Amino acid sequence: MAEDPQKLLFRMQHIIPQKLVSAANVSHTEATASSSHDVPMDIEFRMTWGKVAAKAWGPHDGRPVFALHGWLDNAGTFDTLIPLLPKNLRIVAVDTAGHGLSDHYPPDIAYNFFDCLVAIERLAGLLKWEKFSLIGHSMGAAMSMLYAGVFPEKVDTLVCLDLARAEVTRPETVGYRLRKTVGKLLKYEAAIVAGPEKPFTYEVAVEKSINGSFGSLNRNACEVLFKRGLKQVDGGYVFRRDRRLMAAPLTLTPKEDQLAMAREVTANVLIIKFAQGPDFESRDNFMEHVENLKTKAKNVCFVEVDGAHHVHLTNPDRVASIISDFFIAPSSNPHTSVQS
């Protein structure tokens, strides 16, 4: 039987052997202590390039859920929320590459949004999860949305916090964005080669984090994120995250591509927009994405709550009951509602 021409062209372009399943030599280890919904357990996943760190909440045989944090944050972003969610969930909150306690990519390897697609696939395979749910905040929400469109048969529930998709790439800005990103990436690479980051005081770390979040973090939230995101060194503190992450990811995400993926999502979808969060696009464009999800998704619920970009961390009670109810009975939620 002749091979589909498009599939053949794809294999030729990417030089992918037909029977190759994964090139990664990966494994994972878990701490000996058992996890609960209030006390998480540390997990490490070994990849070919290094370590991916995570923390697991809930029973081993619970309903599987991945939790993905936002850009420059870490798995700690869910520390105050997860204990308020249903106790039957097995939630693995991941430090994506270059964030938190996970290793940085090797030199000369740039970060991009699509790394998460590969990471989720590898982690799901290691955990032997054939079907699971996704909870994502900000960048993690955008990547969860993309994954649910690329692998719709694997995702039963999708929860997006304050973002529904990656920032749309407009054709007229592509050249400028890529030039700027490449320039910043080379600048940060040169700084890394030149030597370690200059340490700063704990108070400066708090100030940097609050200012960098446009005020959506408070001191308590910073201290939660610092457990995985800040390292004490001689002379003060430095952030653990890879400095190259400060350059925008080398990724193009056109609107039509993202709408096409939205139309493939079959999961139950809950999108919670934070009223005082950043507006990366117009309300009309945002709602257009929500409407496209209704093409195949079982249920689509859009809710708006009062709060800034990290309200799930600073005031988890504002979203916990909404998420819990959706996991328990997604069909009972209206397609569009507003809560505050």
- Amino acid at residue number 164: A
Angle at CA of residue 223, ends 221 and 228, nearest 5°: 105
| DSSP structure string for 24-85 | ---EEEE-SSPP-SSS-EEEEEE-SS-EEEEEEES-TTSEEEEEE--TT--GGGGTTTGGGS
Residue 71 in tokens: 């850009």
The DSSP bridge pattern shows strands 27-30 and 41-46 to be antiparallel
Residue 226 in tokens: 């610092």
Q: With the C-alpha atoms ordered 332, 335, 338, 340, is the resulting torsion angle positive or negative? A: positive
- Amino acid at residue number 104: H
Angle at CA of residue 229, ends 228 and 230, nearest 5°: 105
Catalytic residues: 138
Residue 14 in tokens: 């990417």
Q: How many whole angstroms separate alpha carbon 91 and alpha carbon 271?
A: 19
| DSSP structure string for 163-174 | -SSPPPBPGGGH
| Adjacent-strand bridge partners of 27 | 46
